[in-house]
Structures are given as structure tokens and as C-alpha cells.
Amino acid sequence: MTAPSLAPGRTGVVGTARTRLEGRAKVTGAARYAGEVPFAELAHGWVATSSVARGRIRSIDTEAVLAMPGVLAVLHHGNAPRLRPGVGLFGPDATLQVLQDDRVPHVGWPVALVVAETPEQARAAAEALVVTYDEEPHDVAFSADHPGVYTPEARPPAPPDVERGDVDAELAGSAVVVDEEYTTPEEYQSPMEPHAAVARWENGRLEAIDSNQGSYAIAQYIAQLFFLDAASVRVTSEHVGGAFGAKGVRPHLVFAVMAATMLDRPVRVVLTRRQMFTMCGLRTPTAQRIRLGADADGRLRAVDHESVSYSSAIQEFVEQSTRPTRVLYATDALRARTRLVRLDVPTPTFMRAPGWAPGSYALESAMDELAERTGLDPITLRLRNEPAVAPASGLPFSSRNLAACFEEGARRFGWPDRDPRPGVRRDGRWLVGTGVAASAHAAMTAPSTATATAEADGTFTVRIAAADIGTGARTALHQIAVDALAAPPEAVRVRIADSDFGPAQFAGGSMGTASWGWAITEAAAALRERLALADEIPADGITVRADTSELVRARQPVERHGFGAQFAEVAVDPASGEVRVRRLLGVFAVGRVVNPLTARSQLVGGMIMGLSMALHEEGVRDTASGSLVNGDLAGYHVASNADVPPIEADWVDDPDTHNPTGIKGLGEIGIVGTAAAVANAVWHATGTRQRHLPIRLDRTLTR
């Protein structure tokens, strides 16, 4: 057969709304997540965690627990398999080195795994396990002036320090200066599906079903950790119940592999909701000082952004909160500094729009304060400081269109009619206000491989180790494949989330669809070339593999980002301090949108997480015990249905040829800017600035 010619993505199904391919399975309960696949002889592991914040394990009383009904094993640092050190997704990851020594670095650190015939037995035994500790003094109190604050080592994509021009001189010469500190608290990804994995040995091969963001890389790291041949490990993750950065390689999988290996039977390990709060990362709190210097007409002369965050005693993780400042506004002088302090706390990790989300809250709040002090409309101020090139790197943008987002958003939101004065609008007992903020997120692409097979029956199969963590990736990749193969949708199947499909980018950094889509496009093009020369398709089909490593590497350096403008209307009850968000609008420039239905869901979902960040989310750490006070979904409130008003998300044309698919990625940008838009709206409603998240009742009542 020969394939008809059709330029990839030009016509066809990319850009049309499609319901999810796995939708029927999800609404009927048929979709099985990692902890839901049954196996004969399945054993259940339950993690026991430390109750102290720092110290050494003195003893673990395994004997009593081993005598309990159904208990098969108690793994601890004295008997667990040795792991290869220095393994991790982004450099050595100490959080994977569980049960390797007697050190306890924070409350909730895993100290043992109890394995039993049933989950009830495993849980009871884990709770009965007596562990004693030699405690050491701990420090979990985060602040920007902590004596331990230091400059972390440079790591991509953002070096800790950027300095262009003379910030101090420009500040001294500015007509208007804003100099404020903004803080954000501990925030937790909290995907609905707890981390789960089942591991088993099958014909000499380790097979794991895991809830994660990228099976290929995780299979590699598991192989390295356990001194195994890379080809002897397979990880699959067909359905993943949310991730938001928390589902890289996590201890639950390491435990499942340890136990399956020791017991030679399938072992499932599912973390409890409370354990997710201590073992799966979090967004570090930040303390950010922003100084803006401007001429009287609002033109920026100086931008100085310093962000301090924390990491754990065992691992350096840097929240790069100055990233928005490096791309958003033109300025004569720019200084961005990233600082870190190490505490006896769980190790932070990526959470939706790492750096961008907390950083934009600070920067976009400060810009609103500058608008107030210069007497300018907040949108006018931002448009006046649109840069020709990226302010930090000096590189051109692949495309930007932020101004178009503001203009379209302002028109739809009714912004031009806004009275700029704060605290003057009433609706019954409510004070009402509106606010705006810019959104930005990096639009990176990473190498991936994909295969495309022309089957003998005339259909096509595309395989790629992508992950669909709720993004709609499976459906979007199907659309891309359909167009690239110029085949009818029903003749194309896309299979994902299997490490055997070869190297592929993680579902992270808003890089998934762009990276995977490129590889699929290349594979499809190569397959069509092969088919043009083939007389017939053999019984086992014709398969080609594409690898975009060279293509990705060969690109010219350019600043590639998505941008957006977010608008919020809030009502504040001056008696109780309650804040209600009444509506949100986001208009984005995010390259080509593959599936408007699922893209809108992702953008709106990001904005809802942004609303939640603005009003609700705050991990509260007890300095005396070092533990998280509110580590469950009752204490750590995430936005519920009743918290969420009508929300609209849309996009402007944003052609970008830097990746041949034109895709920029939009999984994270929705959360960037929302919190500032809400905070700015609360100021507009009440006249009280909100420089600390979340915007609690007591904070709206304090002047």
C-alpha cells in the first residue's frame, strides 16, 4: 500500500477537539492503575516511617512483628539489599537510598518495610513495629535570613545568579522603587492516586507496574540501583492518577523491587496519603525579595529578584524561582539570585511549574505594586516593558505574543472599564476587585524515540514510552500520528507507557507532547518513505524507529516559552476576611494546540491549582517535632468544587517553527500567574497587599 501525501499537522485531526481515547475505560472504572492489577501470590508491603526529625536508628524490634499473622518479612537497613549509590533522574538522588543505613534525615523517612500476605496484616504489623532512635537536635525553621543560606552550584536550565547592568546605580536613579518581600509556603503535589507499584520477577526479568511520569527512565534507574542489566528491567504505567512532579522514581517502587527480589513473589507497595506528604517531595517554601526601579512613566530601569528556598539535609534541590524574571520584562539592569538553606526536612522536588509558579507570584505582585505607585494601568505598565530579546540571556524569542494575550484578555474580561482605585466597590457585604498577571513557562523539547509500524492489515501502530498522567497525551499523540501517517484515525493505534518502547522524555517540564510528537512525526515520515518503496507489507509489518536526539541538539539557541495573561475577579468579606474568587480568565500563547478539548482542561486545571495556591494550600511544619502538622487532605486543603468559579481559558495564534510540530506544551503555564492575579485582585478589592501565600482570612483583615 502507499500512503497519500499530507503535510504533517497542516490539515487533519491536529487542532480538532477529541474526547480521550481511554475515556470510556476511565468513566466505567475499567482503567486499571498501577496498584490495581491482580497477581497470584501477591504480597503486600507497608512502609514504616520515622517519628523523629534527625538522628540514628538504635533498634528495630523485628521479632515481635515477624510473629504476627501473615507477616513474611521485615526489611530494614540491617538486611535490605544494597543499592548502587549516586543514581537518580537529575543526578544522584539520596531519596532513593532507602534502608541503606541508620541515618534519619527527617520525620516520615522510611525506616522499614513490612511485607505480609494481606494489606491488613502488613499495615497492622508496620504500625506495631517498635523502632527506637538516638535523637539529635533538628532544625526545620525556614527563613531568608537563616545563617545557613548559601549559593547552590550552577545547574541547568538556570544558573543561580544572573547580573546584567548596574542594578544598584539604576535603582538609585529611579523615580519609583518597589522593594518588598513575598513568601510562599510548603506546597504538596497531592495527585489523587497515591504512589503505587507492583514488582515481580518473570522469566529472569524484573517487571514492574508503577505510577510514574516516565517508564523508560525509571526502568533505567531501577536497573542501575539494583545492579541489573538495563534490558532485564521493564516498567509500565498505562494509567497514572495524576503526578504534578511527584511521580519520578520514588521509594515505593524501590521497596516493591527489594521485597519482590527477597521473597521471589509479586509484591505491591502503595503509599498512604500521609506517607505521600513525607516521601514524595513537595514544593519548598520560598522567601523572595523583589526590587523594581522605574522612571515615572513606568519604564523599568532595574529588576532585582532574590529567592531563598530550602532543601533537605541529604539532597540539594533548587527551586529556580527567578526564572520568570529572566524572560518577562525589559530592564536596563537585571539581577537574579537563587539561594538555598538545608534543613532537616523532606527533600523538595518539582511541583507543577517549579520556580515559575512561586516566582511569578512575587514578580507579578511587585509589578502590580509598581503600577499602583506609578499611577499606570497594570497592563499598560507591562506592555511598556515588553522586551525585544530575553532580558537575561539576550537571545531572541522563538515567538512571544504576550501583548496579544493581554489585549485579547482585557477585551473579554471587561478590563478597560476598570476603576483603578482600591477598596471602593461593594456588592452587598462583599468588597469586589479585579487583578491581572502575566504567565510564562519554558517550552523545551528533549530527545525521544518512537517506532511506527505499518501492519499487514493496513493499520498502523505507534509505540512511544510516553506517559499520560491525565494530560491527554495518549489522545494528542494519536492525533499527531494520524496526521503524520495521513491515515484514518481508526487505522492508527498509539501505545505508550512501556519502557520496552525505548528512550523517551518524561511527562514533565511541559515537554512531553512537544518531545514525543516530534519523534512520532519523524517515525511516521520515515515509515511513509519506506512504504513508498515497498511492494507489500510482510506479515510482521514494517517498523521504523526515529530518534530525535540529533535534531534536538542541532537547533539554534533561542528563548522558547509559552506566555499568557490571567485575570481574576474576587469578592472579600470584610467581616470574616473570606475571599471568594468569582471568575478567572486566562489567555495564552502556547504554540500549536493539538486538542482544544483536553488543552483547555489542562489550562483551566492549572489555573484551579493556582487558585488553590493563592487561597488554600499551606503545609504547616511544627518546629518542635519537625513534622508536618496537616499532612492529609483534610488538613491540607486543595480547592474543592465549591471553591471554583466559572473559569475560561483560551489562546491566541502563536506560530512557532522551532519545533516542527509547533507544539510548546501547556501543562504547567496555567498555574503561573494565577496566584498573583488573585492577590492583586484582593488588593483592588480591599486596599490590602497580599505578600504572603496563602491569602488566609487573617491576612485579608490585616492592614
Partner 1 sequence: METNSSAISLRVNGETHALTVDNRTTLLDALREHLDLTGTKKGCDHGQCGACTVLLDGRRATACLQLAAAADGRTVTTIEGMADGDRLHPVQQAFLDFDGYQCGYCTPGQICSAIGVIEEHAAGWPSAVTADVRPEAGPPPLDADEIRERMSGNLCRCGAYVSIVRAVAEAAAQVAAGREAAGGQGSGAGGTRVTA
Point out the residues that are catalytic.
Answer: 668
Q: For residues 435 and 684, what is the distance between their CA atoms, to the nearest angstrom?
A: 7
Q: For residues 386 and 370, what is the distance between their CA atoms, to the nearest angstrom?
A: 15
Give least dist CB 187 to partner 1, A: 12
For partner 1, the binding residue among 57, 327, 565, 639 (CB under 8 A) is: 639
Of residues 1-60, which lie at the interface with partner 1 (CB under 8 A)? 19-20, 22-24, 26-33, 35-36, 38
Q: Does 127 engage in binding with partner 1 (CB under 8 A)?
A: no
Of residues 66-85, which lie at the interface with partner 1 (CB under 8 A)? 69
Which of 189/401 has CB closer to partner 1?
Answer: 189
Q: Measured at the alpha carbon of residue 604, what is the angle toward residues 212 and 674, in degrees to the nearest 5?
A: 100
For partner 1, the binding residue among 242, 489, 577, 660 (CB under 8 A) is: 242
Q: For residues 511 and 206, what is the distance between their CA atoms, to the nearest angstrom?
A: 29
Q: Does 232 engage in binding with partner 1 (CB under 8 A)?
A: no
Q: For residues 1 and 24, what is the distance between their CA atoms, to the nearest angstrom?
A: 32
Which of 31/169 has CB closer to partner 1?
Answer: 31
Phi, psi of 145 (to 5 degrees): -105, 25
Which of 616/658 has CB closer to partner 1?
Answer: 616
Stretch of 143-151, 172-180, 386-394, 639-647 contacting partner 1, by CB under 8 A = 639-647
DSSP for residue 195: P
Give least dist CB 63 to partner 1, A: 21
Q: For residues 197 and 269, what is the distance between their CA atoms, to the nearest angstrom?
A: 6
For partner 1, the binding residue among 540, 553, 634, 698 (CB under 8 A) is: 634
Cell of 277: 506528604
Of residues 248-307, which lie at the interface with partner 1 (CB under 8 A)? 270, 272-273
For partner 1, the binding residue among 81, 119, 152, 173 (CB under 8 A) is: 119
Give least dist CB 405 to partner 1, A: 20
Give least dist CB 62 to partner 1, A: 22
Which of 199/473 has CB closer to partner 1?
Answer: 473
Q: Does 118 engage in binding with partner 1 (CB under 8 A)?
A: yes
Stretch of 72-80, 116-124, 450-458, 531-539 contacting partner 1, by CB under 8 A = 116-124
Which of 187/304 has CB closer to partner 1?
Answer: 187
Q: Does 598 engage in binding with partner 1 (CB under 8 A)?
A: yes
Give least dist CB 193 to partner 1, A: 4
Q: Does 201 engage in binding with partner 1 (CB under 8 A)?
A: no
Give least dist CB 120 to partner 1, A: 4
Phi, psi of 182 (to 5 degrees): -125, 140
Which of 564/606 has CB closer to partner 1?
Answer: 606
Size, binding site for partner 1 by CB under 8 A: 66
Q: For residues 161 and 123, what is the distance between their CA atoms, to the nearest angstrom?
A: 47
Inter-residue contact 441 to 672 (CB < 8 Å): yes
373: nearest Cα among 450, 293, 427, 439:
293
Give least dist CB 147 to partner 1, A: 37
Each residue 603-632 as x (binds partner 1 by CB under 8 A) or -, in order, gives -xxxxxx--x-------------------x
Cell of 182: 513575598
Q: Does 644 engage in binding with partner 1 (CB under 8 A)?
A: yes
Which of 19/79 has CB closer to partner 1?
Answer: 19
Q: For residues 154 and 91, what is the distance between their CA atoms, to the nearest angstrom?
A: 13
149: nearest Cα among 284, 307, 283, 304:
307
Q: Does 439 engage in binding with partner 1 (CB under 8 A)?
A: no
Q: For residues 228 and 232, what is the distance between their CA atoms, to the nearest angstrom?
A: 7
Of residues 391-410, which lie at the interface with partner 1 (CB under 8 A)? none
Q: Does 128 engage in binding with partner 1 (CB under 8 A)?
A: no
For partner 1, the binding residue among 76, 146, 200, 239 (CB under 8 A) is: 239
Inter-residue contact 224 to 254 (CB < 8 Å): no
Which of 141/644 has CB closer to partner 1?
Answer: 644
Each residue 452-491 as x (binds partner 1 by CB under 8 A) or -, in order, gives -----------------xxxx-------------------
For partner 1, the binding residue among 633, 660, 692, 696 (CB under 8 A) is: 633
Stretch of 248-256, 280-288, 326-334, 640-648 contacting partner 1, by CB under 8 A = 640-648
Cell of 189: 503535589
Stretch of 159-167, 375-383, 410-418, 597-605 contacting partner 1, by CB under 8 A = 597-605
- In degrees to the nearest 10, what's the CA dihedral of 373, 375, 378, 379? -150
> From edge to edge, which strands make up the β-sheet containing 333-343?
161-164, 333-343, 300-312, 286-294, 176-184
DSSP 3-state assignment of 336? strand
Paired residues of 305 in beta bridges: 290, 336
Which of 162/218 has CB closer to partner 1?
Answer: 218
Cell of 108: 516520615
Which of 80/607 has CB closer to partner 1?
Answer: 607
Which of 46/518 has CB closer to partner 1?
Answer: 46
Between the alpha carbon of residue 163 and those of residues 168, 356, 394, 622, the distances in Å are: 11, 19, 12, 37
* DSSP code string of 549-589: HHHHHTSPP-B-EEEEEEEEEEEE-TTT--EEEEEEEEEEE
Q: Does 646 engage in binding with partner 1 (CB under 8 A)?
A: yes
Residue identified by cell 492516586 is: 193
Between the alpha carbon of residue 609 and those of residues 187, 614, 692, the distances in Å are: 11, 9, 17
Residue identified by cell 506560530 is: 655
Half-sphere exposure of 40 (CA within 13 A, CB side): 1
Stretch of 238-246, 252-260, 278-286, 343-351 contacting partner 1, by CB under 8 A = 238-246
Residue identified by cell 495564552 is: 588
**End-to-end CA gap in the chain:** 74
Give least dist CB 439 to partner 1, A: 15
Residue identified by cell 521485597 is: 259
Q: For residues 296 and 374, what is the distance between their CA atoms, to the nearest angstrom?
A: 6
259: nearest Cα among 117, 129, 94, 80:
80
Q: Measured at the alpha carbon of residue 63, what is the angle toward residues 60 and 66, in degrees to the nearest 5?
A: 110
Stretch of 88-96, 183-191, 386-394, 559-567 contacting partner 1, by CB under 8 A = 183-191
Q: Does 240 engage in binding with partner 1 (CB under 8 A)?
A: yes
For partner 1, the binding residue among 641, 698, 702, 703 (CB under 8 A) is: 641
Q: For residues 563 and 665, what is the distance between their CA atoms, to the nearest angstrom?
A: 11
Q: Does 575 engage in binding with partner 1 (CB under 8 A)?
A: no
Of residues 673-702, which lie at the interface with partner 1 (CB under 8 A)? none
What is the length of the chain? Answer: 703
Contacts with partner 1 by CB under 8 A lie at 19-20, 22-24, 26-33, 35-36, 38, 69, 118-121, 123-124, 189-194, 239-244, 270, 272-273, 469-472, 597-598, 600-602, 604-609, 612, 632-634, 638-644, 646-647
